[in-house]
């Protein structure tokens, strides 16, 4: 049986862009949210506007259209929210890829899809408006989670609704709609939703890393088909 990676690679020409991007002119800049990034002080992380200004300045300084990265990254930034804390071990390992861009950035489905579920996960540090789409490529079924969207993106959706490849499905939300983060897309692949709807952990305990990474393969496999660039992931 072919692996997820083999199926995506063999269907690369049919996979469309998730965000508007011209690989001949546009640049991506990998953002580091690990403990090695000393610029992200508690003051910056505690104020979403300061955090957003930091991201925007990084992109401007590097002439980049988007910031990107984060799969399998052990991040310190989740300390800003009690949402990621548990009594025995905090959740810090990122299971998706982030695309950092402006509020209102259009988001598209990369392949024919059906609506699995959607919700407003309205906790500080959570996804905010979230859409989960179901896909089937060469017999392989999986879901993709799109988080930190605008609330308007949830309008007129129904579970089971068919959405053709290349259709605009959402826009990036402002902080009041996206869990109080600088605007960005959290894009995550999920093999088994484990009965959940409208939500799935995007960050796990490091002790559960192998289990969650097995269920959430590297989204850069799909993103790179649209970006046409080597993966900037630190995985």
What is the residue range of 14's domain?
A: 4-227
Decide which of 175 and 234 is more confident.
175
State the sign of the Cα–Cα–Cα–Cα dihedral 197, 201, 207, 210.
positive
CATH number where 214 lies: 2.70.70.10
In a domain, 13, yes or no: yes
Q: What is the pLDDT of residues 53-102, one digit of tens each?
A: 999 999 999 999 999 988 888 776 665 555 555 556 676 788 999 999 99
3-class DSSP assignment, residue 91: strand
In a domain, 234, yes or no: no
In a domain, 233, yes or no: no
Q: What is the pLDDT of residue 35?
A: 79
In a domain, 149, yes or no: yes
Q: What is the pLDDT of residues 89-122, one digit of tens each?
A: 676 788 999 999 999 999 999 999 999 999 999 9
In a domain, 215, yes or no: yes
Q: What is the pLDDT of residue 76?
A: 63
pLDDT band at 231 (very low <50, low <70, confident <90, very high): very low
Mean pLDDT of the chain: 88
Q: How many domains does the chain have?
A: 1
In a domain, 161, yes or no: yes
In a domain, 232, yes or no: no
Q: What is the pLDDT of residue 17?
A: 93
In a domain, 210, yes or no: yes
Name residues whose C-beta falls within 8 Å of residue 175's C-beta, 6 or more positions apart in sequence: 48, 49, 52, 181, 182, 183
């Amino acid at each position: 049986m072919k692996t997820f990676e083999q199926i995506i690679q063999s269907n690369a020409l049919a996979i469309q862009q998730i965000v508007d991007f011209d690989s001949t002119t546009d640049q991506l800049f990998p953002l580091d949210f690990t403990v090695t990034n000393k610029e992200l002080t508690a003051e910056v992380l505690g104020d979403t506007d300061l955090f957003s200004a930091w991201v925007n300045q990084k992109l401007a300084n590097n002439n980049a259209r988007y910031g990107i990265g984060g799969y399998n990254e052990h991040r310190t930034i989740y300390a800003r929210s009690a949402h990621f804390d548990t009594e025995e071990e905090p959740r810090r390992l990122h299971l998706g890829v982030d695309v950092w861009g402006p509020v209102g950035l259009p988001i598209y489905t990369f392949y024919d899809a059906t609506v699995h579920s959607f919700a407003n996960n309205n906790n500080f540090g959570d996804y905010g408006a979230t859409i989960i789409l179901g896909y089937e490529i060469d017999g392989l079924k999986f879901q993709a989670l799109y988080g930190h969207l605008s609330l308007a993106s949830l309008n007129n959706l129904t579970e089971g609704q068919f959405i053709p490849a290349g259709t605009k499905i959402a826009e990036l939300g402002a902080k009041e709609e996206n869990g109080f983060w600088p605007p960005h897309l959290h894009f995550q692949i999920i093999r088994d939703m484990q009965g959940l709807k409208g939500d799935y952990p995007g960050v796990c305990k490091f002790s559960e890393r192998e289990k969650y990474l097995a269920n959430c393969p590297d989204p850069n496999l799909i993103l790179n088909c649209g970006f046409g660039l080597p993966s900037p992931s630190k995985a």
